[in-house]
Amino acid sequence: MLALLRQSIRVSTACLLIAVFGIPQNLMAQAHIVSPSDLQKATVAATQARQRNMETVRNLLSSAAAEKAMRSAHIQPEQVQRGVSNLSDQELAQLASRAEKAQADFAAGSLSDRDLLIIVLAVAALVLIIVAVR
């Protein structure tokens, strides 16, 4: 009985060693679900989208009329500009789409200067609130 136990341990050990050393390690390492190049492309695309969104929001907030409106509402434009970089990608994308729409409506004549200033103040207040909550 002791010999049978030893024999089964030897067989089990041999099977384990064959499994560990018999399968090439590079075969297991190459079985990625997503390739590294795809991950890099996705990261670059996300970074570029964030930069575009940040630029859109900052362009809206850095105009002379926007800065004047923020100062009249006792909001520091520099603090709002710093707060933009603290927004999440989703928050930044939402603000950028609203900023683009507001600028397009203003250029088309659908918005007056007063309406655009109200939108700028709302965006600035929203940025400050989001940053303050975090």
- pLDDT tens series, the chain, 134 aa: 677 777 888 878 877 777 777 666 665 555 567 778 888 999 999 999 999 999 998 888 888 878 888 888 888 888 888 888 888 899 899 989 988 888 887 777 777 777 777 888 888 888 888 777 77
- Tokens of residue 54, six digits: 């940040």
Q: Which two tokens stand for residue 64?
A: 């002379």
- Angle in degrees, 0-180, between the axes of helices 36-61 and 113-133, rounded to the nearest 10: 130
For residue 33, the surrounding DSSP H or E stretch is: none
DSSP state of 86: T
The pLDDT value recorded for residue 52 is: 94
CB 99 within 8 A of CB 57: yes
Domain residue ranges of the chain, discontinuous segments joined by + = 46-134
| Type of residue at 15 | C
User: Token pair for residue 115?
Assistant: 């309406």
Amino acid residing at 9: I
Per-residue burial over 16-49, b = 16 or more CB atoms within 10 Å of its CB, e = otherwise: eeeeeeeeeeeeeeeeeeeeeeeeeeeeeeeeee
pLDDT for the residue 31: 56
